[in-house]
Structure 1
Amino acid sequence: MPKISSDSLWELAAAEVRSGESGAGEEESGAGEEDGGETVSERSVVLMGSKSGGKTSILLRCLDRDETSKPTLALEYTFGRRARGHNTPKDIAHLWELGGGTSLSDLVQIPISPVGIRSLSVILILDLSKPNALWATMEKLLQAAQAQLEKVSTQAQKAEKAKAKHQTAVHSAARVLPKDYPDRELISPFPVPLLIVGSKYDIFQEFDSDKRKVVSNTLRFIAHYYAASLIFTSIKSENLMSKTKSYFSHLAFGLDRGKTFSCDSNKPLIVPAGADSFSQIGSPPATDVDITSLHAKNPKDLWKKVYERVFPQESTSEQMELKDPAKDPQYSEPQIDAMRAQKDQELEQYKRDAAKSWKGLELET
């Protein structure tokens, strides 16, 4: 049997690695694209919305995870995987959940980055049981996300120009709608696919019918204005959660979202992007408001003024809780906590000693 030199083995190993990297590079270059029949391998989804609006509970249900939801601490990451078939690679969804309502909106700059922006989607979850905070929450979070998307898009365009000869995986946040998209010239599409979810429908359905109509039609207008999909849901309804999961899977794994359409304000709304129009939505349902007395700059501003007349908005200056997360029982680490307690004691002793030395210095002076 001929002897194989160590150099030959290294050469074979190096060739195997290069072959693997080449295959991985081809797969990565197709991530986030559906051109040429290529299947998306990785996508990213950012979830944000009302504080205590049910974001974590909805996410766990969509991932079929039987876990007890806990309050989201700042920005949390998880992922989901789905097999395309038997003995095939699994698609991966990178999932970012922003906690704290609007108080931590600046953190959207972490998941919204130039890398993989073409495979990014946003899910905005609004608490229907708190209509007096709904518009302000929606407006601040979408503005924060859009500002970061525009910033990232500008960075990506500069990077592409600088590396025109060497194409990279960096892309702009350009979103192109079909030419026959309803009201295409009158809307302002969100830079990336957007899904608006109205949570806690089980509570909302008990509201007065006129108030339900104002909330429903307003969210229909907002969704159509941003070329977004809209769905009302409740974790207490298996039927609604099933439909919500299909929309989530559409963004996370590229699956079919279904063609169900429901715009009756007396029922849960299910409005796919592109299925609605301003003519179907109509004018703001201002039964007790004289629209002619409102000085609005544009249709969106008019809807905002009417909505805030019906539901005066609460202050969105949500203060971060003073509670130290390090002392939260759900994040306990006995050894680390013991060391932390020791360091805290040493710090307090240092402060006392420093205070004594300063007092002594003052007396001598």
Structure 2
Amino acid sequence: MPRISSDTLWELAAAEVHSRETGGGEEDGGGEDGGESVSERTVFLMGSKAGGKTTILLRCLDRDEPSKPTLALEYTFGRRARGHNTPKDIAHLWELGGGTSLSDLVQIPISPVSIRSLSVILILDLSKPNALWGTMEKLLQAAQDQLEKVFSLAQQGQKTKSGTKHQTSVHSAARVLPKDFPDRELISPFPVPLLIIGSKYDLFQDFDSDKRKVVSKTLRFIAHYYAASLVFTSIKSESLMSKTKSFFSHLAFGLDRGKTVTSDPTKPLIIPAGFDSFTQIGSPPTSDVDITSLHAKNPKDLWKKVYERVFPQENTSEQRELKDPAKDPRYSEPQIDAMRVQKDQELDQYKRNAAKSWKGLELDT
């Protein structure tokens, strides 16, 4: 019997998904019979630790179930029928847990198979402004680095493979802004559609008005700089969750995201991509800061320095998850846990015996 490599099944699955996304094959419903094809999109959620990512995702999917802390990287999916007796569109949904501590896992949802239909949602906890910029910066940079790596691999693949269909699918993955997009020459668009969600607005609205203004204007700048949509929400507000769901459904299923625009800092922000501008946002709120004293390399760096003067950032680079999942009572397995304890004891005994033997060897020497 011929030996089958361990990744053969993965390769076949990846090829099947790629075939469906690029319109190939006979099972996509797009053949001569005129059937409708099934749309498959991928949405990757990341953001602040304990920022409400899972709860927001469940609400957007209309799932009435309690949320649990995300251990590392979790996958689920959503389906939506376009109409009666029509195929159901599928959204592949990935959620990264742990805040910034597991940012290297972005390589799993951001892959050559997913980029053609990929969107990213960044959820930032508005109630913790001192961790907001660091979280945003590290996660977006990790995602962007992985996207650039995947795009580079895709371009290299073009040089070794022929075929119009393959080339079209790779080129269509790159995000192209309309020519009339505000400040098109001054911004740095995120490589794929990006939605920034400010969570826990119910707590944020009780902040001092000046501090709310700093956070709101800064996030408006960041969202516009990356050509992203921005929405503030709270799981305690049905109205805000409804608007958040429309943005989510736009990315996951291609539905209309609505036409509501709110840029008043005294209200929850709702700004679709392309509906803001640097002129409307204005300059950084620097009532207590002399801009000339800040040695910034570019506009984004200037906003960062002003923001960090108001909200000194916590160190997020070392916030590794130190808890051992094997000792978490939520994942208790009595028989396995008992065997684990026994093996740990055997390991400790082995270490003690080994230490004694090495000490004796040193004395003999």
TM-score range, shorter chain: 0.7 to 0.9
* 1:100 Cα deviation from its structure 2 partner: 1.4
AA at the equivalent of 2:356: K
| 1:282-302 deviation digits (Å, cap 9, x = unpaired) | 111212122232222221122
Give, in whole Å, the separation in 2 of the partners of 1:175 and 1:25: 19
Q: Distance in 2 between matches of 1:199 and 1:132?
A: 14
Q: Provide the aligned length of Structure 1 versus Structure 2.
A: 338
1:28 to 21, 24, 39: 21
Bigger shift: residues 231-240 or 280-289: 280-289
Partner of 1:16: none
Most deviating of 166-175 and 314-323 = 166-175
- The within-5 A match list for 1:27-66 is 27-30=20-23, 41-66=39-64
Letter in 1 for 2:309: R
1:239 aligns with 2:232: no
Aligned to 2:205: 205
What is residue 65 of structure 2 aligned with on the other side? 67
Confirm or deny that 1:196 pairs with 2:196: yes
Look up the match of 1:12: none
Alignment of 1:346-365 (within 5 A): 346-365=346-365
In the TM superposition, what whole-angstrom CA distance separates every residue of 1:167-207 from its partner, at most 9, and x where no partner exists? 44962541101111111111110000000000110011011
- The equivalent of 1:34 in structure 2 is none
Aligned twin of 2:291: 291
Structure 1 residue 95 corresponds to structure 2 residue 93: yes
> Equivalent residue for 2:75?
77
AA paired with 2:180?
D
> Is the Cα–Cα contact under 8 Å of residues 46 and 97 in structure 1 kept in the other structure?
yes
- Within 5 Å, give how 1:63-142 maps onto structure 2: 63-142=61-140
Query: Structure 2: how far apart are the matches of 1:130 and 1:260?
Result: 26
8 Å CA contact 1:102, 1:318 repeated in 2: no
Q: Do the aligned partners of 1:74 and 1:104 also contact (CA within 8 Å) in 2?
A: yes
Asked whether the 8 Å contact 2:38–2:88 carries over to 1, the reply is: no
Answer whether contact 2:38 2:87 (CA < 8 A) is retained: no
- Quick one: distance in 1 between partners of 2:18 and 2:146? 28
Decide whether aligned partners of structure 1 residues 38 and 177 sit closer, same or farther in structure 2, where only a CA change above 3 A counts: farther
d(CA) in 1 for partners of 2:245, 2:354: 58
CA contact (8 A) 1:49 1:101 kept: yes
Please report how far the alpha carbon of residue 341 of structure 1 lies from its aligned counterpart in structure 2 after TM superposition: 2.8
CA distance in 1, matches of 2:113, 2:352: 49
**Residues 157-176 of structure 1 aligned to structure 2 (within 5 Å):** 157-165=155-163, 167-168=165-166, 171=170, 173-176=173-176
| Alignment match, 2:4 | none
Matched-pair identity in %: 83
Unaligned runs of 5+ in 2: 1-15, 25-34
SS at the partner of 2:170? coil
Mean Cα deviation higher: 305-314 or 116-125: 305-314
Q: Distance in 2 between matches of 1:128 and 1:157?
A: 38
Would the aligned equivalents of 1:30 and 1:41 in 2 still touch at CA under 8 Å? no
Q: Quick one: which amino acid aligns to residue 218 of structure 2?
A: T
TM-score by length of 1: 0.87
Alpha-carbon distance in 1 for matches of 2:23, 2:266: 43
- State the one-letter code of the partner of 1:330: R
Cα RMSD (Å) of the superposition?
2.2
Between stretches 162-171 and 241-250, larger displacement belongs to 162-171
- 2:322 pairs with 1:329: no
Shift of 1:150: 0.5
- Alpha-carbon distance in structure 2 between the residues aligned to 1:142 and 1:38: 35
Which residue in 2 is equivalent to 1:15? none
Offset at residue 38 of structure 1 (A): 7.3
Moved more, 86-95 or 136-145: 86-95
CA contact (8 A) 2:100 2:319 kept: no
Q: TM-score by structure 2 length?
A: 0.87
Classify the secondary structure of the residue corresponding to 1:171: helix
Task: Tell me the distance in 1 between the aligned counterparts of 2:69 and 2:189.
Answer: 31
**In structure 1, distance between residues paired with 2:364 and 2:18:** 71
Matches of 1:177 and 1:236, distance apart in 2: 35
Contact 1:50/1:126 (CA < 8 Å) preserved in 2? yes
Whether the 8 Å CA contact 1:40–1:253 is kept in 2: the answer is no
Match for residue 271 of structure 2? Answer: 271
Rounded Cα–Cα distance in structure 1 between residues aligned with 2:347 and 2:239? 55
Gaps of at least 5 residues in structure 1 are: 1-22, 32-36
* Corresponding residue number in structure 2 for 1:222: 222
Counterpart Cα distance in 1 of 2:235 and 2:66: 13
When Rg is computed on C-alpha atoms for both structures, the one with the higher figure is 1
Instruction: Tell me the distance in 1 between the aligned counterparts of 2:326 and 2:353.
Output: 26
Partner of 1:339: 339
Match of 1:154 in 2: 152
Shift of 1:164: 2.0
Query: Which residue pairs with 1:8 in the alignment?
Result: none
Q: Describe the shift of the 1:25–1:222 C-alpha distance in structure 2 as closer, same or farther (beyond 3 A).
A: closer
Task: Answer yes or no: is the 8 Å Cα contact 2:104–2:142 preserved in 1.
Answer: yes
Please tell me whether the aligned partners of residues 101 and 321 of structure 2 are also in contact (alpha carbons under 8 angstroms).
Answer: no
Q: Give 2:170's aligned amino acid.
A: H
SS at 2:120 equivalent: strand
